[in-house]
Each structure stands twice: as C-alpha cells, then as structure tokens.
Amino acid sequence: MTIFKQLRQFEHENVVFCHDKETGLRAIIAIHNTTLGPALGGCRMKSYQSEDDALFDVLRLSRAMTFKSSLAGLHLGGGKSVVLLDHPEQKTPELLTAFARRINQLRGTYIGAGDIGSNTDDLRHMRQTCPWITGLAEQDGGLGDSAILTSLGVFMGLKAAVKYQLNRDDLVGLRISLQGLGKVGFMLLEKLVNAGCHVTVTDINPKAMERAKLEFPQIQTVSNRDIFSVEADIFSPNAIGGILTPQVAHNLPVSIVAGAANNVLLNDEAGEVLKQRHILYAPDFLINAGGVIMVASEIKGEGLEVARKKVETIYDRTLSVFERAAHDNTPPQQAAVAMAVERIEAARIDKARHEQRGMGTTMPETTMSETMVLETTYEHGDTKNGQADDGLIRS
C-alpha cells in the first residue's frame, strides 16, 4: 500500500519525515487530527524491521491517540512520533537535539511525550531545545512517571468490565492471565494481587518474570506462547499490540479482555469474534488513557491529585461504552470509536460555525490556553523560536 493510500485509510492530516545527516536521525511524526487541539502523543524510539513497519506503527498509534484524547474529554488531538534506531547506542544527546528541532518546527501542532525507548532524561534534554515536550519528571516541573496513572486507568477499566460482565464490585478470587511486565504491567500486577486475584503472568524478559515471582510468590508464570491458553476470567495484554488475531480471539479461554497494550486487536474481525463469543473487550485506547490525562493535567498546571481523580472517571466512561455497544449491537471498540468521532465532529461543526461568524478562531479557547502554558514556561526566553536563553525550564 502506498503512503498516500495509508494516509487516506487512516485519515491523517499531516505526516512529517525527518532526517539529519550528522546524527543519522530518521524519524516520522504523524499528526492524525487536531480538531480538538494540538496533537499529543509519545516519542517512540526503537528499531524496526523496515521503514514500512515504522510508518504503519506511527499511523495506527497516532489515530488511537485521537480517539483516546477525545474519549477522555480532553482538548487535545492525536499524534505520535517514532525514531528509527539501528541500535540502542544510536540514541545520543545530539540525535535527541536534532529530533527536538524537528518537533519545534511544527510550532506546537504536535506535542511529544515519553513512550517506548524514551525516558524522562531524554525528555528533559529535548525540552531544552523544544518547548513542545511534556511528561517530565517531578524535579523538572512535571507530574512524574505516567505509568502510575496509566496502570490506575487500566485497573479502573478492568473493574468496570467485571461489573458489567460478571456483575461484581470486587475482584477477589478472579483468575487473571497477564501478558507484559513492563512499568505499567508490573504496577497493574501489584494492584491485581492486592485486590485478591489469582494471577498468571508472562514476559519475554526472564528477569522481569523472576522479579515478579520474587515480589509476589503467589503468582504463576508461563511462557509467552502459553499465556493464550491459560483458562482465566480476564486476559490482560500489557505488551505489544496486534496480538489478538481472529484465530487467537476464537480460542481465548476468558470472559474479559482488558489491558494497557495499544492496538491489541489486529483488526476489526478479531473484535467481532470476541463479540460473537460473548467475550467483553475493554478498548485499549479507552482504559489506558491515564497517561495522556496526566500529561494534559501537566500542561494545564494541575496537580497529581487532580489528574488522579480524572483518571478514576475511566470506570464510568468504560461502562458508558459498554452500554452504547449493547444498544448499537456492535463490538465495544466500534462503539468507543463512534463516541470519540461524535465529539470530534461536534467540535468541527462548532468551529466552522464560529469561523462563519467571523470569529476567526481555529482552536477552542480552552485548547489554546492549554497550549500557551508550554509557550509561557519560557517567560525569559525567545518564544519566537521556542527556546529559552539559558535552556532552563521555568514554572
């Protein structure tokens, strides 16, 4: 499929290919939709088997970010960026600076944050060059590790699925098969164990499984391949996306699927199979929105507790999506997309109406003010080029 066919399929506004000869930078910034506000999304830095794989990844992820921000009620759009690394050592300070300059050229249309392969140290370094970087560590003026609230959001969504599917308010005694013990997966594991669940885990990293078994001796461990055949009440995918193919969905021995991994379903057919088998799927972009909610609160200058309370509303929002899916007789992921698109379309119509009246605004007022928070952090700097004179982040 050609690049423009993919853009038409995913309905992106803009895709930027970045290159820097001196550092070897190869990056793609995908801006899916900015109707609700600037496109927010993480900066993923990893190796890909091919450039086509990297493009497909950034297009799918940025599209999901649009739906995630919309469903979360944020004045933000959807974007994502990927930096293609030949090897981990290629991620040098010079390469990060070159990438930050490319983001800076977009003047806030895209706001970057942390993701796979990028940490708060990387973000701090990039922020010295570009104000459109968020998700910072607490000592740098941010709200800290977004995995904390991402795992909380997934936990709330999982509890909502249990309430809807099993009519239970607690998780005591439920069997969970959990794939992926990264930051979010491990924090979710802790919540599930504390809630009285019987958890079976897997990860491609043996050390991650050893750590989990050491901290939680009561859990069971299996190979990554065997996790799909573990009989459980809930399957929680927290690793890579695209793992639920139609075939896997047809054989999965669970009642609920709820996890933090992005783009869990390989395609819509997999979602249809789950629906036909009466397996309730909690859409990933709905329940893993804790991180983007936290970053949005950081942009607005809100505290961590304000962000936490917003993340807890994922419970009610998830129930609403399940109710909409039942009403429309569609899989939950389709209902979630429909709800997200409806909010975006309403904003688009409202924006067009304002423009016709001569107001000339291209962004909701609240969105513009949120965006300006990033500009004003450089109160003594040169906001024309997005850099502070001394490179310091100011509050």
pLDDT digits (tens, 9 = 90+) for 149-176: 999 999 999 999 999 999 999 999 999 9
CA distances from 65 to 13, 141, 262, 298 (A): 14, 24, 10, 17
Q: What is the pLDDT of residue 82?
A: 98
Question: Nearest 5°: phi and psi at 93?
Answer: -55, -35
pLDDT at 7: 77
DSSP assignment string, 155-216: HHHHHHHHHHHH--S--TT-EEEEE--SHHHHHHHHHHHHTT-EEEEE-S-HHHHHHHHHH-
pLDDT tens, residue by residue, 200-240: 999 999 999 999 999 999 999 999 999 999 999 999 999 98
Q: How many CA atoms lie within 13 A of 119 on its CB side?
A: 5
Strands 25-33, 77-84: parallel, antiparallel or unpaired by DSSP?
antiparallel
CATH of 3-140, one of 3.30.1020.10, 3.20.20.60, 3.40.50.10860, 3.30.428.10: 3.40.50.10860
Express as a percent the part of the chain with pLDDT over 70: 91
Q: What is the pLDDT of residues 104-150, one digit of tens each?
A: 999 999 999 999 899 999 999 999 999 999 999 999 999 998 999 99
Q: What is the pLDDT of residues 317-361, one digit of tens each?
A: 999 999 999 999 999 999 999 999 999 999 999 888 888 887 554
Where does the pLDDT of residue 371 fall: very low under 50, low under 70, confident under 90, or very high at 90 and above? Answer: very low
At residue 363, does pLDDT exceed 90? no
Q: What is the location of CATH 3.40.50.10860 in the chain?
A: 3-140
Told to judge if 80 belongs to the known catalytic residues of this protein, a careful annotator would answer yes
- pTM of the full predicted structure? 0.86
pLDDT value for 354: 82
**Model pLDDT, residue 6:** 80
CB count within 10 Å of CB 47 equals 14
The predicted pLDDT at position 32 comes to 97
How far, in Å, CA of 351 to CA of 32, rounded?
18
**Does the pLDDT at position 377 exceed 70?**
no
Q: What is the pLDDT of residue 85?
A: 97
Domain covering 147-338, topology: Rossmann fold (3.40.50)
**pLDDT given at position 380:** 30
Q: What is the pLDDT of residues 269-322, one digit of tens each?
A: 999 999 999 999 999 999 999 999 999 999 999 999 999 999 999 999 999 999
More confident residue, 11 or 16: 16
Give the pLDDT confidence score for residue 359 in this predicted structure: 58
CA distance 329 to 195: 32
Catalytic residue among 80, 91, 159, 310: 80
What residue ranges of the chain are covered by domains with CATH 3.40.50.720? 147-338
pLDDT tens per residue across span 43-96: 999 999 999 999 999 999 999 999 999 999 999 999 999 999 999 999 999 999
